[in-house]
Amino acid sequence: MADLFETGATFLASQLKEHGSQLVTYVRLPHVVEVSAIVGRKDVLVETSAGALERHEQWDFLIAGTDLVLAGNPTLPERGDQIKLPRASHIDVFEVMPLAGEDHWRWSDSFEQLLRIHTKFVGTE
């Protein structure tokens, strides 16, 4: 019998992709691929070595693990990869990096269907 929670996670991931995502460009030169991503943003407070609190903006992109394929090979995010998010008049560029005491990516669900990729806004094109 199929695990009810895994079935539900699969269904939720497919619905998020179909109804809550947008096309982004994932770049690890020389490879470039378009993927559907659910985009999220949050402010995080980070304590510096001097004890001061700094506010940082963190952007997360949720991408189906099966969609991140570079040069025909399924892959995982690497630090320094870029994600390009099209806007009405320009393209926002984000760099994959660890933020706020976390690694640069993690699985967003227990069944390893959605990658949660942590990024920082680095500019526009």
Q: Per-residue DSSP letters for 65-86?
A: TTT-EETTEE----TT-EEEEE
Count CB-CB contacts under 10 A for residue 63.
23
pLDDT in tens, 61-86: 999 999 999 999 999 999 999 999 99
Please state the pTM of the whole predicted model: 0.85
Name the pLDDT band for 30 (thresholds 50, 70, 90): very high
pLDDT in tens, 81-123: 999 999 999 999 999 998 767 899 999 888 888 999 999 999 9
Separation in Å, CA 105 to CA 84, 118, 124: 17, 6, 23
Length of the chain: 125
Cα 43 to Cα 75: distance, rounded to the nearest angstrom: 28
